[in-house]
Amino acid sequence: MKNENDLELTSSWQALSRAHLRIMSELENALQANHHLSVNEFTVLLVLSETPDNGMGIQQLADTVGLSQSVMSRLVSRLEGEHGGCIERSIRETDRRCVFTQLTEQGLRRLKEALPTYRETIAALFAHPDIQKELRIVSKAVRAPQ
């Protein structure tokens, strides 16, 4: 029976991966076309907006978003410059080793403009028969006893 469970687990992981790739690709296209933001840029703005003071350390931000610190540093530079000051970097007096990133009013405005596109794209994809099929496969494996 272990082989059948292993096969189901592998199939479920592949289904989840296919659904994730499709959703991320469609989100990337929609956010770029409508708001000139990448999925990662949008995600950084979203994550920062969900913190009490609209900010966090760059390493914590990188860990939360799932990017390396060097990729996050380049992304933050783009959001500071090319995207019209969506975030600001600073050094905290309490810990001068930590670079702190904070969402600006401009960044919050860009996020609010892009949120409907983000939500509509996800809603449309979750309703798509191909994605529903993939998610049913995953759901079945999640409920299956081990």
In order of their start, the domains of the chain are 2-143 (1.10.10.10)
- Percent of the chain's residues with pLDDT above 70: 92
Contacts with 110 (C-beta within 8 Å, 6 or more apart), sequence order: 35, 37, 45, 83, 84, 86
Tokens of 3: 């082989």
Q: For residue range 83-110, list pLDDT tens digits in order.
A: 779 999 888 777 677 788 999 999 999 9
Residue with tokens 């469970």: 5
Indicate the length of the chain as a whole number: 146
Count CB atoms within 10 A of the CB of residue 114.
Answer: 20
Say what the pLDDT of residue 93 is: 73
Q: What is the pTM of this model?
A: 0.87
The predicted-structure confidence for 39-62, as pLDDT tens digits, reads as follows 999 999 999 999 999 999 999 999
